[in-house]
Amino acid sequence: MGKMAATVGSVATLAAEPGDDAFRKLFRFYRQSRPGTADLGAVIDFSAAHAARGTGPGAHKVVRSQLSVSSVSDHDAHRAGLQPVSKWQAYGLQGYPGFIFIPNPFLPGYQWHWVKQCLKLYSQKPNVCNLDKHMTQEETQDLWEQSKEFLRYKEANKRRPRSLLEKLRWVTLGYHYNWDSKKYSADHYTPFPSDLAFLSEQVAAACGFQGFRAEAGILNYYRLDSTLGIHVDRSELDHSKPLLSFSFGQSAIFLLGGLKRDEAPTAMFMHSGDIMVMSGFSRLLNHAVPRVLPSPQGDSLPCCLETPLPADLPRDSVVEPCSEEDWQVCTSYLKTARVNMTVRQVLATDQDFPLEPVEEKKRDITTEGFCHLDDESSQVKRAKLNPDS
């Protein structure tokens, strides 16, 4: 208890030092943290039973969130691979109105589909990825096919060069985010995946956002040394709709701060299957991921990913079967990685994009930026998300 109290005290001291960027100080602290030590003593774990009982680190901030159980039928939840909403646990944090954390509401085995989609389907053209800056469209046409044999035999040859799938850092869906201008546009759009749209609509409805439209997605692919810099998601034209975040694979630390960086953030774990919803006041808060945590058991998957996807799926399910061969590739990848899907509604109902100057339309969306990296991020951080690294 003494070591944990000391760590909580040191975190509070870092955050309270005047005249400095409190968020960045804690970002650096957690980036250098040592898993399995008291360094993580102040990180909230929503999946632990004590979070609901009001004990444990940071639990004084944790409150229960009410869900709109009647807005999603059990059948529609099952179609998306989710438990009935009545069985979900949902939490919020004092001081962060509009923030909702839902610890893994997926049915056993159903995360397999979403992991496979991120690696096998969503990474394909016409979707856009970070590798497009360095390679031709023909070379990035099917990253899965080019990488699966490397990943299947990864254990036998750990010194081999990384496959293209392992060099993937981000993929954009729907309205493709322009990392250079930090905008979306009507003329750079590809159809949003229908299965992910359905999943997002059910989660949004359960959180009280009926009529949510999944129009844009950014998928981030993290290695164990990856970080997500401090940023605010404000490029969408309608901020009244929530930002949905789905996490799969190895656990990570998520920092949620305030409107300014001199406000110390709250640290929490994101485990595989966890969902975060940022709406209202929390929709425009600073946030970041300073650390991806290696599995305590070495190269292994989280327990919730060990259960296979059931063979008997609902007839109208958006979830598709996953072969053993495909899951073997996914398993090899996820042992040292995590994937995060963020889904947004860009436009309000009946809203159109404003007219852009001609020269703005000509800018190449793949020429700048890496995974929401902050403008003040160091070159070291940029290198960590560079596909050539």
- Residues in the annotated binding site for Fe cation: 231, 233, 287
H or E stretch at 379: helix 379-384
Yes or no: say if 327 and 116 are a contact pair by the CB < 8 Å rule: yes
- Paired with 270 in beta bridges are 252
The DSSP string of 147-163 is HHHHHHTGGG-TTSPPP
> Residue 298: which region, alpha, beta or left (left: phi > 0; alpha: psi -120 to 50)?
left
- Binding-site residue set: 231, 233, 287
The Cα 159–Cα 273 span in angstroms is 30
Beta strands of 196-274 (E only): which ranges?
A: 216-223, 228-231, 243-249, 252-256, 266-270
Question: Which residues 6+ apart lie within 8 Å of 217 measured at CB?
Answer: 122, 172, 173, 174, 192, 193, 196, 341, 342, 343, 344
Give backbone dihedrals phi and psi of 246, rounded to 5 degrees, phi first.
-120, 130
Q: Does residue 25 contact residue 17 with C-beta atoms inside 8 Å? A: yes
d(CA 302, CA 325): 19
What's the token pair of residue 152?
A: 């299947």
Question: What DSSP letter does each residue of 108-176 carry, written as one string?
Answer: TTTHHHHHHIIIIITTSTTSEEGGGGTS-TTTTS-HHHHHHHHHHTGGG-TTSPPPHHHH--EEEEEB-
Instruction: Name which of 264, 256, 266 is nearest 286 in CA terms.
Output: 256
